[in-house]
Structures are given as structure tokens and as C-alpha cells.
Amino acid sequence: MSKSDYRNGQVNKKINTTKAILIAVSIIFILVMLVMPMIAVITYALQNGIEAYLKAVKDQYTIKALQLTVIATVSAVVINTIFGLFAAWTVTKFEFRGKQLLTTLIDIPFAISPVIAGLIFILTFGRIGWAYDFLQANDIKIVFAVPGIILATIFVTFPFVSREIIPVLNAQGKDEEEAAALMGANGFKIFTKITLPHIKWALLYGVVLCTARAMGEFGAVSVLSGHLRGKTNTLPLHVEILYNEFKLTDAFAVSSILVILAVIILIIRNIIEHKAKKAGEC
């Protein structure tokens, strides 16, 4: 073995060691932080047998909570998708004053703690809020009611869709749209024929992330809900109540619903990512 071969061998060995350490650290971290707790949730949920598990899951309050979670999630996703498309389109296709400010404002929910978001709505629509008299006069209930929960969920998740689309639209530039406009295509045609096919995967990805976040939202919703069982309880809130009542098995059983939903979303996410990569290659 010549000297340089020997040195190359040393370098290779070093690289291999680094690789092994990094992989080991990542795997151990994920095992300890994510996989173990998930296994714990499932084991606890099934601790008293499948009968007890099904009873907890089929409980009418659990079903009500699940329904509310689905309603809040669907509303948030639909509204944020529409808003996200508009915002992303505005920010990437037009030049105007305060564009930078708008982009920053979109990110506010990422920066503000959800509890504070909840308090903002209490201060706006609650008994001491400035909109209270108007709401009272028109018999509209927001705080401690379903609209409040939907509002809080929307607030917390609204950057997800636009954040995913903006980079894609930026990378695409304006040329294709301009070309289509020059040939006389109207805005709707340009959007459906040129822009939408391009952002399809990013949009879906944003929707998936938005769904995941909306389902798990706790802080903002907790402040606004008032914890009225069967009325304003979402799944995460229901889990907390059960837990505080020392009904551990029930709490974990209900949690497992959320875990299963999360796993389904992760699978969808992976499929989308895979397809998007494929679309990007051709």
C-alpha cells in the first residue's frame, strides 16, 4: 500500500465514522423523543383491554369532540387555502409598496404563542372587548362558542398554505403568465391553465401541514372554548379534561385517535412529496 493510499484509507475511515455517529444520534433522538411516547400512548390506551378502549372512543363526548375538531379543521383549511392562494399570488406577481410588510405579517402566527392568539380574540370579542356590544345586539356568539374555536384555528394555521406556495411561484417567475396574457387569456384561464398546475403539489403539501396543525391546536382554542363538554370541546381539549379527571385510560384512548389521524396525514404527506419530486424531474 502506497503512502497516499494509506492516507485515503484514513480519510475514508474518518468519513465513515462521522456518518455512523450522525445516523446513530438521529435515530436515538427520534426513538426517545417520538417513537417511545407514541408507543406509550397506544399501550396505555389498551392497558385495560380493548373493551375499555372502545368504550372511551365511543363515548358521546369523544364523538362530539371529534366532530368539532373535524369542523374546525375543515373550515380552517378551506379558508386558509383560499387566503393562502390570494396572498401568495399578490406577493409574487405584483410589485407594490409595503409588500415586505405584508409578507412579514403573514408570518405572525408562527411567532405569536397560540395562548396569546386566544387572548387577542377574547379581548376583541369577549365581555370586555370592543366588539362585544355589537355582537350582543346582533345575537352573535364567538367567545365560548364554535365560531371562536374556528377563528382561533384559522388564526394559528393561516401561514401554512401561502408559505408553501410563495417560493414555488417566485421560482417560476412571471414569464409564462405574461405570455398567456399577451395571447389574450383572462385571469381565470391563466390561473387554472398556467399557475395551478405549477403549484399543485406545493398547495397540497401546504394543505396537509395546515390540517395537521389545525387538528392538534390546543392553546388558542383552549382560551376561547370555555371547555363546555359536548359543545365547545375539541379532541385535544377533551384529552386534557379526561387527564385532569385521572381517567388515564380514556385520555390515552382519545389521544390515540389523534395519533392515528397524524399517521394518516404523514402517509399522505409522503405520497405527495414523492409525487412532487417525480413531477419536478420530468
Partner 1 sequence: MLMYVQLKNINKAFGNFKASNDVSFGIEKGKLIGLLGPSGSGKTTILRMIAGLEYPDSGDIYIDGVRVNDVPPSKRGIGFVFQNYALFRYMNVFDNVAFGLNVQKKNKKEIKERVLELIKLVGLEGLENRYPSQLSGGQRQRVAFARAIAPNPQLLLLDEPFAAIDAKVRHELRSWLKDMINKLGVTSIFVTHDQDEAIEVADEIIITNHGTIEQKGSPLEIYKNPSTPFVAQFIGESTVIEDYHKLKGFDQLHNIKKAVIRPEFINITKINEIKQYMSAAEEGVIEKISFRGSYLEVKVNVKGIILTVTRSLEDKIVKVGERVNVLIYRLYVFDDKNAYLLENPALEDNNSVFI
| Secondary structure letter of residue 7 according to DSSP | H
- Which member of 55, 198, 227, 269 binds partner 1 (CB under 8 A)? 198
Beta-carbon neighbour count of residue 226 at 10 Å?
Answer: 15
Give just the sign of the alpha carbon dihedral 70, 74, 77, 83.
negative
Decide: is 275 part of the binding site for partner 1 (CB under 8 A).
Answer: no
DSSP characters over 216-277: H--HHHHHHH---TTTT--HHHHHHHHHHTT-HHHHHHHHHHHHHHHHHHHHHHHHHHHHHH
Decide: is 175 part of the binding site for partner 1 (CB under 8 A).
Answer: yes
Residue number, 2 or 186, with CB nearest to partner 1: 186
Find the shortest distance in angstroms from Cβ 78 to partner 1: 25
| Secondary structure letter of residue 59 according to DSSP | -
- Which member of 42, 71, 176, 191 binds partner 1 (CB under 8 A)? 176
SS3 labels along 185-226: CCHHHHHHHHHHHHHHHHHHHHHHHHHHHHHHCCHHHHHHHC
- Which member of 60, 182, 188, 246 binds partner 1 (CB under 8 A)? 182
Residue number, 82 or 179, with CB nearest to partner 1: 179
- Which member of 127, 184, 188, 246 binds partner 1 (CB under 8 A)? 184
Residue number, 57 or 194, with CB nearest to partner 1: 194
Distance CA 72, CA 215 (A): 8
Question: Which of 164, 144, 280, 111 is closest to 221 using CA atoms?
Answer: 144
Decide: is 179 part of the binding site for partner 1 (CB under 8 A).
Answer: yes
Decide: is 183 part of the binding site for partner 1 (CB under 8 A).
Answer: yes
Q: Are 48 and 248 in contact (CB under 8 A)?
A: no
Residue number, 107 or 178, with CB nearest to partner 1: 178
Decide: is 180 part of the binding site for partner 1 (CB under 8 A).
Answer: yes
Residue number, 68 or 272, with CB nearest to partner 1: 272
Residue number, 76 or 199, with CB nearest to partner 1: 199
Decide: is 194 part of the binding site for partner 1 (CB under 8 A).
Answer: yes
**Given the rule CB under 8 A, which of 11-19, 83-91, 129-137, 187-195 is the region that contacts partner 1?**
187-195
Distance CA 90, CA 166 (A): 10
Residue number, 192 or 270, with CB nearest to partner 1: 192
Q: Contact residues for partner 1 (CB under 8 A)?
A: 175-176, 178-185, 189, 193-194, 197-198, 282
